[in-house]
Amino acid sequence: MGAVSGFIKYSMLIFNFVFWVCGCVILGVSIYVRVSDQGQKLINAHAEAGSLNAAANLMIAVGAIIMVLGFLGCCGAMRESRCMLLLFFIGLLLIVILQIAAGVVGVVYKSQIEEVFRESFEEQASTLSQDSTEQESFKNELADFQKQFKCCGLVNGAADWGKNFDQYGSSCECINATNTNDVCVSYNGKLVYKQTCGDVMLDALKQNLIIVAAIAFAVAVIEILGLVFSMVLYCQIGRK
């Protein structure tokens, strides 16, 4: 008859306790954002309120699943319950499979995702030259973005502003720019930034995706360790 490894058992216990605490935090914050008056004010202040509510609901589900898995892992290790350890293993394995599937889909449809963003930018760019007051806040936000990130327009540069260039174009004028021939172009007698704000946003998205992928890889490694530890402990309990 074999003995249960204390190192494996307490490693599982600590790992799943941290896992459970993370689930509690995610669930608590998500519920607060979803039901509190302050959270709803923040969500409703954005145009994509429906999407933000759906994201909050998704995070509630994720937090609940993590809590349940952490509970199963903790109790399974502490009580040396093969049933709980097996449920934990199956649940964690499904999460790993879903992460891998999501990563594959992201890689396969990367170009399509970028195309969707570009189409959205084209739709928004068409409103920049209009006189509609409904888009006034968007125009002011883009003007601030241009000034901060040294870009101009969304798709076609300064031309996106059309007749509104005189009103909003000052925010994308080249000021103290080095290598102006590479960074700036001439438009309506003014030097403006060559790079479009759409390209700046896409570049930032790509950089953030790399960070997300690195975090996802690190999480996957931890999850695989959890799978290995839970199965080793499961087998050791069976040999007792």
Secondary structure of the chain in HEC code, one letter for each residue: CCCCCHHHHHHHHHHHHHHHHHHHHHHHHHHHHHHCHHHHHHHHCCCCHHHHHHHHHHHHHHHHHHHHHHHHHHHHHHCCCHHHHHHHHHHHHHHHHHHHHHHHHHHHCHHHHHHHHHHHHHHHHCCCCCCCHHHHHHHHHHHHHHHHHCCCCCCCHHHHHHHHHHHHHHHHECCCCCCHHHHEEEECCEEEECCCHHHHHHHHHHHHHHHHHHHHHHHHHHHHHHHHHHHHHHHHHHHC
Q: Is it the case that residue 89 has pLDDT exceeding 80?
A: yes
Q: What is the pLDDT of residue 52?
A: 61
Alpha-carbon distance of 140 to 143, in angstroms, equals 5
Alpha-carbon distance of 192 to 211, in angstroms, equals 31
In the numeric block, which tokens belong to residue 194? 């060559």
Q: What is the pLDDT of residue 168?
A: 85
Which residue from 156, 159, 137 is spatially nearest to 199, judged by alpha carbons? 156
The alpha-carbon radius of gyration of the chain (Å, integer) is: 26
Each domain of the chain, given as residue ranges in start order, spans 6-108+219-239, 112-200
What angle is formed at CA 78 by the lines to CA 72 and CA 225, rounded to 5 degrees? 65
Alpha-carbon distance of 168 to 170, in angstroms, equals 6
Mean pLDDT calculated for residue range 211-239: 81
Q: What is the pLDDT of residue 177?
A: 61
> Lowest-confidence range among 43-52, 62-71, 80-89, 131-140?
43-52
Angstrom distances, CA of residue 65 to CA of 10, 22, 74, 93, 175 = 22, 11, 14, 13, 51
Alpha-carbon distance of 142 to 124, in angstroms, equals 11
Query: pLDDT tens across 19-72, in order?
Result: 888 888 888 888 887 787 766 665 555 545 555 667 677 788 888 888 888 888
pTM score, two decimals? 0.61
pLDDT band (50, 70, 90) for residue 4: low
Task: Give the best-scoring range by mean pLDDT among 17-31, 53-67, 78-92, 105-119.
Answer: 78-92
pLDDT band (50, 70, 90) for residue 223: confident
Which residue from 1, 11, 13 is spatially nearest to 79, judged by alpha carbons? 13
Query: pLDDT tens across 167-197, in order?
Result: 888 888 887 666 666 788 888 888 899 899 9
In the numeric block, which tokens belong to residue 185? 């172009």
